[in-house]
Amino acid sequence: MKNILAYSILLILIFSCNQNDFSDTELYFLTDKASYSVNDYFKITVVVSPKNGEKKIRIKKNLNNLKISFHATSTKLGFSQELKKHFIEGPSLTKDESEYIDEFTISKTHPFKKTFKGQISESKESIILEIPELNITDSVAKSKLLVNPKLTIKGNFHTIYSVKEEYFIPKAIEILIE
């Protein structure tokens, strides 16, 4: 009897985790421009599209399962800042999680899209990138961008209840400094 109960719980957990992954999807970023100057406003859009047909995805309302990083391409070590942290935990067996998780049915013609607005500013030695909606303020040394003004945006989505992740296609932008 204990074995049947254990197997049943295991199967429930496996199937509930499998319905929420980003496998067989294309993840990429769109920006409103290819290059930006200091004091520009920018828009970055996160896009998730299925490779075929329709697919259901679940995303935390606070976007804690989204990770984005910026990398300066002018240095060997690069510049990297994790903008969102994620916490991995099991599904609740007793409460409604719709308060914390949104479910989307996506297709090629109707992908998931979320646009964030930000601003680029500067201090004496840094270029500052701010995205208020995500409570992000980040910076990169001007000296790195003077050598090569390109930044690469990278990221991934983690499934809600497992460690599986799918990566975004990297997106390059330029930050022009006068």
For 39-98, how does the pLDDT look when each residue is reduced to its tens digit (9 = 90+)?
999 999 999 999 999 999 988 888 888 888 777 874 443 333 333 333 334 444 444 566
Task: Answer for the pair 127, 145: CB distance below 8 angstroms, yes or no.
Answer: yes
Domains and CATH numbers, the chain: 2-176 (2.60.40.3880)
pLDDT above 70 covers a percentage of the chain that reads 75
- Tokens 């769109």 identify what position? 30
Query: What is the predicted pLDDT for the residue at 13?
Result: 55
Report CA dihedral (114, 119, 123, 128) to the nearest 10 degrees. 10
